[in-house]
Chain A
Amino acid sequence: MNFFSGLLNGFQEAWENKFRSLLSMMGIILGVASLVAMMGVAEGLIRDFRAIFERSGGIERVSIDQTKVPEWQKTRASISSKRTLRDLDAILDNVTLADYATAQFNANWKEMIYGNRKYWSQITGVTTDYQPVFNVEVADGRFIADIDVHEAQRVAVIGTNVLENMFPKDVSPVGLSFNIAGLPYRIVGVLKKQMYIRGGRNILDRLNQVVYIPVTAAQSQFGKLDEVHGIYLKANNVAYLSELVSQTENTLLATHRGIHDIEVKTREEDLIELKKNEAGFKYSIGSLAIISLIIGGIGITNVMLASINERIREIGVRKAVGARSSDVFLQFIAESISISLIGGVLGILFSFALVNVVMSIMPPNTVNIILTTEAFLLGFGASVFTGVVSGIYPAFKAAKLDPITALRYE
């Protein structure tokens, strides 16, 4: 008696007792379907988080934050300085482990005028490297160039919301001039529209609202010369992030005259937090599905016990013609697995229906459900595992039947 013929027996048994088998499989079907569907929900959320993380520079992005002067350097606090373009120049000259480095000047919300149209937007002063560091994509024209920064040119790259609200439709605004807080700027580029719709809204819409101008132009128009509000680097190899941090810290200690008033921060902690959240999602979803599978397993055990009670004479005959207890055990485990396999396949099919129902009930773009091969394999594996576990007791009961007693059973 091999395992394969046991499986065939199980399929035959399930087919001959369709209704009973279907009832016993319900738990497995629902368990597998909910496992696969919930994994899909988790996967959707995880991909959303990852997409946002990547679009904001990914793990390669390193930021320079301003910190308080430490207690032990308080006596020298008067020579502490803000982050400046000198820091950026030093980084560009000395930090070899970064491909790109950029500075950012936040001019906040300013009024813009084009003809008789007015619009408020967030004005951000940047350098050329801002584009690769933040993965900014330009749809029309170009991004801020080195010469724009060097000469503090009044040029601007606008987001699509600005375009849609201020400028004529169907005509490229590149080359047009408009006013930002009273000074004229020439449009050199339009950003690609950023879309990531969740819960009925574009969670990346703020990126369509921005206007980028050269950091130097922003400084001269809106702030103190030289001060910037952020410095960011893009690592050329994430394997050397800690070395990059050291290299940057050493460089900035020189420009800050030995004062520890800056902190170089990587996004590794964010990523660890992200991964923790992912694991948390999966475990909580998995535990819900396991409860369904346990109920499914009990159903299978019940049906297997009923089946064995109906087939006691068969077990006696099999033993009389030479079946060992282990053969009988294997046969009933295989039958249990075959029921759970059918349940697993039906559960996977049902998960598609479940996902469609959830998607149709929820408002558009509220949830992102991604059914993965991993979820299918997990669902299928869980059903087989349930089959094995739930078949052990009935199979053991069948295997230890005495052949003489079994043959006399009426």
Chain B
Amino acid sequence: MLILSKAVKEYKMGDSLVRALNGVDLEIRKGDFLAIVGSSGSGKSTLMHALGLMDTLTSGTLHVNEQETSKLNSAQRATLRSQEIGFVFQTFNLLPRLTIENNVLLPAQYSRRAHPAKLPDAIAVLERVGMAHRIGHKPNELSGGERQRVSIARALINKPSLILADEPTGNLDSQNMVNILKLFTDLNAEGQTIIIVTHDPDVAKNARNFIRMRDGQIIETDLKR
């Protein structure tokens, strides 16, 4: 589903060149539940941005559903991102002015599908994450755990191939962390491909597979399939 091959990402930082990804090879298959772990500066966020088509590679290739993405322009990447990838952020990133319904439907505005998701679809995904009863509320009326559930519903609205979650439990208490991880596990059990980027080994344990990164390289792989 996603094949990353010899991925290199370099940044200029002042006069020096920083290699954030250094020849990463990775294959994500449909139904995987993968945790990318590593300490700060290991390259896991860069990898996530590359996999999420938010950033381009300096060299190497990324295939998403057999489509080579290095030749795509930013508009094409945005459309592919909208259709194939759902993001879950550590800080939820719900838009405070919008209701839960409109937050969830936000990616549908940009999907460029003939039949974009509408209210019944929003209700369905909110029901799936147990938040349908808060559909008319604003994000500031919700707890952290609830906001993250809404954020997951937003990630699911366009029925993406992959959910990319960046430290999804980083801002949650332990009970909410358990609940959110359980939700991810359940979604994966239903066939949803999920990648969680985390520095927390306890979170990583919930995934079926993991890779560990250091200095822009994968140093440990556990891909039980």
Taking the closest CB of chain B, its distance from the CB of A333, in whole angstroms, is: 16
> Is there an interface contact between B49 and A404, defined as CB atoms closer than 8 Å?
yes
> Is there an interface contact between A16 and B97, defined as CB atoms closer than 8 Å?
yes
Taking the closest CB of chain B, its distance from the CB of A321, in whole angstroms, is: 4
At the interface, yes or no: A313 with Cβ under 8 Å from chain B?
yes
Of B79-87, B176-184, B191-199, the one contacting chain A is B79-87
Taking the closest CB of chain A, its distance from the CB of B128, in whole angstroms, is: 18
CB neighbours (8 Å) of B109 from chain A are 1-2, 5, 323, 327
Query: B69-82 toward A: CB 8 Å interface, digit per residue (1/0)?
Result: 00000110011011
At the interface, yes or no: B216 with Cβ under 8 Å from chain A?
no
> Is there an interface contact between B79 and A320, defined as CB atoms closer than 8 Å?
no
Interface size class of B (residues with CB under 8 A): 20 to 34
> Is there an interface contact between B107 and A322, defined as CB atoms closer than 8 Å?
yes
Partner of B78, one of A13, A319, A407: A319
At the interface, yes or no: A317 with Cβ under 8 Å from chain B?
yes
Taking the closest CB of chain B, its distance from the CB of A343, in whole angstroms, is: 21
Give Cα A327–Cα B106 distance, bound, in whole angstroms: 12
Taking the closest CB of chain A, its distance from the CB of B93, in whole angstroms, is: 5
> Residue on A with the closest CB to B86?
A321
At the interface, yes or no: A273 with Cβ under 8 Å from chain B?
no
| Contact A320 to B87, CB < 8 A, known contacts A12-B97, A16-B97, A314-B95 | yes
> Residue on B with the closest CB to A325?
B74
Give Cα A322–Cα B110 distance, bound, in whole angstroms: 5
Partner of B79, one of A316, A324, A403, A407: A324
> Residue on A with the closest CB to B82?
A322
> Is there an interface contact between A321 and B107, defined as CB atoms closer than 8 Å?
yes
Query: A307-332 toward B: CB 8 Å interface, digit per residue (1/0)?
Result: 00000011011111111111100000
> Is there an interface contact between A317 and B81, defined as CB atoms closer than 8 Å?
no
| Contact A320 to B54, CB < 8 A, known contacts A313-B93, A326-B75, A404-B49 | yes
Taking the closest CB of chain A, its distance from the CB of B83, in whole angstroms, is: 7
Give Cα A66–Cα B152 distance, bound, in whole angstroms: 94
> Is there an interface contact between B54 and A323, defined as CB atoms closer than 8 Å?
no
CB neighbours (8 Å) of B79 from chain A are 322, 324
Give Cα A2–Cα B83 distance, bound, in whole angstroms: 18
CB neighbours (8 Å) of B106 from chain A are 317-318, 321
Partner of B111, one of A313, A314, A322, A326: A322
Taking the closest CB of chain A, its distance from the CB of B218, in whole angstroms, is: 21
Give Cα A326–Cα B79 distance, bound, in whole angstroms: 12
Give Cα A5–Cα B95 distance, bound, in whole angstroms: 15
> Residue on B with the closest CB to A400?
B74
CB neighbours (8 Å) of A316 from chain B are 93
CB neighbours (8 Å) of A12 from chain B are 97
Instruction: With a 10 A CB-CB cut-off, give which of B78, B79, B81, B89 has the most chain A CB atoms.
Output: B78
Give Cα A327–Cα B112 distance, bound, in whole angstroms: 11
> Residue on A with the closest CB to B75?
A324
Q: List 28 A-B contacts (CB under 8 A).
A: A1-B110, A313-B93, A316-B93, A317-B89, A317-B93, A317-B95, A318-B110, A319-B54, A320-B54, A320-B81, A320-B89, A321-B81, A321-B107, A321-B110, A322-B78, A322-B82, A323-B78, A323-B82, A323-B109, A323-B110, A324-B75, A325-B74, A325-B78, A327-B78, A327-B109, A327-B110, A404-B49, A404-B55
Q: Which B residues lie at the A interface, using CB under 8 A?
A: 49, 52, 54-55, 74-75, 78-79, 81-83, 87, 89, 93, 95, 97, 106-107, 109-112, 154, 158
Q: Which A residues lie at the B interface, using CB under 8 A?
A: 1-2, 5, 12-13, 16, 313-314, 316-327, 403-404, 407
